Chain A
């Protein structure tokens, strides 16, 4: 692992030598679209629908950046990336922004030469169990067999959790998400562990979802954030404030439906945010209407959340940590002024 990190660091340095000079914003404007790295297989975050149209929370984040830069959320091209190819694609300049449910960590932020911006989803690892197990807390899972994807941080987290609580576990590792879920429902393990954002979706595919429940414990922190190349501060600011604009819009009560009426608002905060009072756009090097375009074309954070992963989608996720700070969540935007 250490050697791998060194290799990556060297590669990152190579990439930086090449990329430090050119400004991403100018490059992006010259080619006329944003190249975004996305997941491709993660329902609710980044995945094409049955017509091949990209959908998801991360996809909408990339669309917000396009709306900010071009005033047109459709000027994005997507590169599906695997967990292994995602960072190199960013370093080599193949993509301009990485919106692929990446957990922000210290080593990625430093050694890999990435810069993470505002978190667009706070995730964490949890447990799914059959109700007939009669367990109400993860602390009672001593001796349980646990279905888990191999080679992920998930596998390490669950091992750490059981060890630190002095419990024993039998891991049942299966490579593929769909097969893992099948094994769990067939009773090959007592519980299934995965990112909480996936557990609800997994539960939904059971033949009788009411027989299963998600335990309240969240055993890891997974702040998922978009990333850009290290060293291009203007581009980082743009991506950062594109995400924040969605959060700020929700704080201010602006939605894609009422944004045109809000243009007439006399609230100085809203006037500044929507570019009626000028200044924000110029500071970022963007059109003054960038926040208006984001909200109009993509929506505020609440709308994006509910559309892709919210309670009315197959994933059925509650806002939880991803609610606004005013509602007890972690989503908080600095003032737009």
Chain B
């Protein structure tokens, strides 16, 4: 008797079909009000209109390994533009036979970056690994000793150049930015004035102006015969520009610290450097991780502006390929490829920053 009761109850509590499973989920989330229903229908319509044609263009009708002439007859995407020119897009003018060297250098860089992602690896041996890695990369790119043929830096291009400009640009700009932010908070008038003028001046001009200054105006002030490497000039301009922005982000963090932190450090007898290094900066830098990373991401994308001073970074090598009449018609495909590379780099940074934020979270 009792068993039968339970059975009855069980059948009674079963929810109606319309409120469970896929249908239920859709009703609860997509069609719960008339407004949401309209939005859902409109979105579905747009997707139906765009996704299948894109899929047909990008996958079904596309050509992957053909000549430019063969592509002309097809309706779909001509991805062939990438494999046919991949080595120039990626490595620019680096001598064709020696292109394993920048490839290896990039692999080293990526391995180091991924290895450094994990905070458990942050110790002295990591520093040595970076020093050795940077030395190896420099050796591979430049050559000249150990039986490697020398390759001038004017022949560097493509992805190694983009990565170099961004990784070294960001690595140098970040500490410089922190120093500038501290300088701006300083009680010493000269230091403070210098930092304020620097930050406001750099932030007041676009990066393009700085790049033009470094590539066009600066050489005119040098004595005849003295030329500074154009990559170095662009690199310095990018560092100077990014540092000014980082400085303002960090200043936000410094101002966010309560006065009690400073006073506590002082009452412990810590001097200025100890206060900053042990108490203030660790907390301040942590709370500004999100704006810092968005600044760094935008700096990474800004490196593509070196196109205008004719440095052959990833974007410029691609544009150069597209000026060939056989490939000129397929710019979308080539730009999608470049966009994907940029996306991976930026996504790497933002996902890492989210992880770092979580790991460093002390609940404050």
Residues of A within 8 A of B (CB): 11, 14-15, 18-19, 21-22, 27, 40-43, 47-53, 77, 79-82, 84-85, 88-89, 91-94, 176-179, 181-182, 185, 201-202, 204-205, 207, 314-315
Contact = CB atoms under 8 A, between A and B. Distances in A.
A42 B154 contact: no
A315 B225 contact: no
Contacts of A89: 219
Interface stretch (B178-186, B251-259, B282-290, B315-323): B315-323
Interface string B318-344: 011111111011010000000000000
Contact of B323 (A19, A27, A47, A77): A47
A50 B321 contact: yes
B84 interface: yes
Contacts of B227: 92-94
A94 B226 CA distance: 9
Contacts of A181: 328-329
Contacts of A84: 212, 216, 308
Contacts of B212: 84
Contacts of B72: 205, 207
Contact of B308 (A22, A50, A53, A82): A82
A212 B346 CA distance: 43
Contacts of A27: 225
Contact of B310 (A77, A81, A182, A204): A81
B322 A178 contact: yes
Contacts of A47: 320, 323-324
Contact of B220 (A11, A42, A48, A177): A11
B216 A205 contact: no
B2 interface: no
A93 to B, nearest CB: 6
Contacts of A205: 72, 325-326, 328-329
B73 to A, nearest CB: 7
B224 A177 contact: no
A182 B323 contact: no
A18 B93 CA distance: 31
Given A15-B220, A85-B215, A88-B219, A41 B225 contact: no
Given A14-B220, A81-B310, A93 B225 contact: yes
Nearest to B99: A52
Given A92-B219, A92-B222, A52 B95 contact: yes
B94 interface: yes
B88 interface: yes
A202 B326 CA distance: 10
A47 B73 CA distance: 26
A18 B224 contact: yes
22 contacts: A11-B220, A15-B220, A40-B320, A41-B320, A43-B325, A52-B88, A52-B92, A53-B96, A79-B154, A80-B310, A81-B310, A82-B308, A85-B310, A92-B219, A92-B227, A177-B323, A178-B322, A179-B331, A204-B325, A205-B326, A207-B73, A314-B325
